[in-house]
Amino acid sequence: MFENISNPARHALKGKEVTFDARVNSVLKSDFPGQLSLELRVQETFLRANVDAKAIGDGAWEKAQKLTPESIVRVAGHIHLLVEKAQANGDGVHTNGHQDAASDIAYAVYVVDLAVIAQASPNLPSFHRDELTEFEFEERLNNRILDVRNAATGAIFKFHSGMCQLMVEFLCSNGFHWIHTPRIISATIAGDNEFFHLPYFGRDAWLAQSSQHHKQMALSMDMQRVFEIGPVFRAEIKSRASARHMTEFTVLDIGMVIQDDYHEVVEMIESMLVFVFRGLQERKQYRYLIDIVEKLYPSAKKFRIGLDEHGKIPRITFLEARRILREELGFEADDKKDFTDQEEAALGRHFRASAHLGQTDLFTIDQYPASMRQFNSQANPDDPWFSNTWDTIAGGREICSGSQRINSHDELCEAMRANVCGAPLDPEAEKWHAYMTAFKAGMPRHGGCGLGVNRLLQSFLGLNDVREATLFPRDVNRLAP
């Protein structure tokens, strides 16, 4: 019977004859002629395979002797030993410090048949170490395929998948439609040099920095609630050194029609984040992965979701965050400036440590000054110096920016001409035509956000660098693999 050895219910296989595919983690020496010991790896599970020439026959034995680490074998045999962790090490059943993280049980199999499915080249670099230093990170990225075979790194991308699945589950069950908007666009904002330019059949085109404008157009199509998960591109010079910026990253873009109040949008996103984080921490298929990640990433820590007395994540205003920084954390905080990375990190530590703030790694900062947000952000009706905009902070860094957008055509034209955050924009210009049409045609009141999926994962797992949470990262220096 072909079995999934990495299945959490594998202890039920004890004593049974099973067939499974595995990677050779290492070839262990045996003192006995005609016998070979292999350490096999199936996802996060390690087991010892005892291979006997007589049992598998001459042809298979010849191939078995040439096996190299990272080769793939199909093995048939009896799962004959289940040993608790303490015994396992003493017994030599489990080697290289690798332990079956899911259940702390080690396995051995007496092989009765063995076939080589893929023979790996000898002398591949080894990334199956329990500790990888910062110095090795670039080298790991250069060898990303082998790196992600490491159980801890692999677990990060299982979380990535889980995170996206949970987002989709939440959004679809709340009436959102999944849309796909173009990555090749024809309009940019003058002076914004973070766009990648693209020659396009004799014309100019650019790669999208976000889905925002097309998402708004979809709302003008009466789609009511829309989302998209996809790549965006930014020519961020700072990605050369920043641990939170890349030039290509994945964004969850969300847009929805507002019934009464802009906070409907904020609450929707807050609820989604709680749903996603809780799902990752509590659902059986994900929760065991955290221990696996922690084995290799010392910075990884358990993410805390502290809810207030109403069951919501804490929410403070921009000014209150500035006050905390100034009065409680000793920063020379300037109310006219956005938060620096250091200030966000300090706020993150403060919220995590403070009982009255919910001891949380997740909170919202609401009501940013209008001058810090895009031209189409809706001003706060009670005080237009502020805007109906927010940032979500997770693990001490911004993971999401959201806002109510102006929906009136006339107001939007006015806001473009005034543009509080840059050079004036001309709403009559040809390049704005398609976008402005959505407003001329009558745009519902709406809001939404852009949420960086890689950064969300980085924050959830407490990883040092956003590229650790990105399968094939792109930055100023990196275009491969």
Site for ligand ATP, rule CB under 6 A: 234, 236, 239, 244-246, 249, 251, 398-401, 450, 452, 454-455, 466
Structure tokens at 338: 């956005």
**What minimum distance in Å lies between the beta carbon of 227 and ligand ATP?**
14
For ligand ATP, give the closer residue by CB, 150 or 212.
212
Q: Kindly give the residue spans of alpha helices, DSSP state H, lying in 190-317.
A: 212-220, 263-282, 284-287, 289-296
Structure tokens at 340: 């620096």
For ligand ATP, give the closer residue by CB, 98 or 234.
234
**What minimum distance in Å lies between the beta carbon of 397 and ligand ATP?**
7
**What minimum distance in Å lies between the beta carbon of 399 and ligand ATP?**
5
Helix (H/G/I), strand (E/B), else coil: 403: strand
**What minimum distance in Å lies between the beta carbon of 135 and ligand ATP?**
23
For ligand ATP, give the closer residue by CB, 409 or 474.
474
For ligand ATP, give the closer residue by CB, 57 or 422.
422
Q: What would the DSSP string read from start to end of 232-251?
A: EE---GGGGT-SS--SEEEE
**What minimum distance in Å lies between the beta carbon of 270 and ligand ATP?**
14
Instruction: Find out whether 212 and 253 touch, Cβ atoms under 8 Å.
Output: yes
Q: Which long-range contacts (CB under 8 A, 24 or more apart) does 103-107 make?
A: 103/8, 103/11, 105/11, 106/46, 106/47, 106/48, 106/81, 106/82, 107/5, 107/10, 107/45, 107/46, 107/47, 107/48, 107/79, 107/81, 107/82
- Cα(425)–Cα(429) distance, integer angstroms: 8
DSSP character at residue 369: B
**What minimum distance in Å lies between the beta carbon of 248 and ligand ATP?**
8
Sheet holding 203-207, edge to edge: 184-185, 203-207, 197-200
**Residue whose entry in the numeric block shows the structure tokens 């009464």:** 260
**Amino acid at the residue 327:** E
- Cα(109)–Cα(116) distance, integer angstroms: 17
For ligand ATP, give the closer residue by CB, 162 or 396.
396
Helix (H/G/I), strand (E/B), else coil: 419: coil
For ligand ATP, give the closer residue by CB, 113 or 338.
338
Structure tokens at 329: 């954390």
**What minimum distance in Å lies between the beta carbon of 2 and ligand ATP?**
41
Structure tokens at 180: 């796909």
For ligand ATP, give the closer residue by CB, 177 or 240.
240
CB neighbour burial string for 167-197, b if at least 16 within 10 angstroms, e if fewer: beebbeeeebeebebeeebebbbeeeeebee
**What minimum distance in Å lies between the beta carbon of 344 and ligand ATP?**
8
Q: Which residue is nearest to ligand ATP (CB)?
A: 452
**What minimum distance in Å lies between the beta carbon of 278 and ligand ATP?**
20
For ligand ATP, give the closer residue by CB, 113 or 236.
236
For ligand ATP, give the closer residue by CB, 313 or 400.
400
**What minimum distance in Å lies between the beta carbon of 214 and ligand ATP?**
15
Alpha-carbon dihedral angle through residues 365, 370, 373, 377, given to the nearest 10 degrees: 100
**What minimum distance in Å lies between the beta carbon of 329 and ligand ATP?**
20
- Cα(363)–Cα(358) distance, integer angstroms: 9
For ligand ATP, give the closer residue by CB, 176 or 233.
233
- Cα(251)–Cα(44) distance, integer angstroms: 29
Structure tokens at 11: 């202890």
For ligand ATP, give the closer residue by CB, 5 or 208.
208
For ligand ATP, give the closer residue by CB, 295 or 315.
315
**What minimum distance in Å lies between the beta carbon of 210 and ligand ATP?**
6
- Cα(82)–Cα(165) distance, integer angstroms: 34
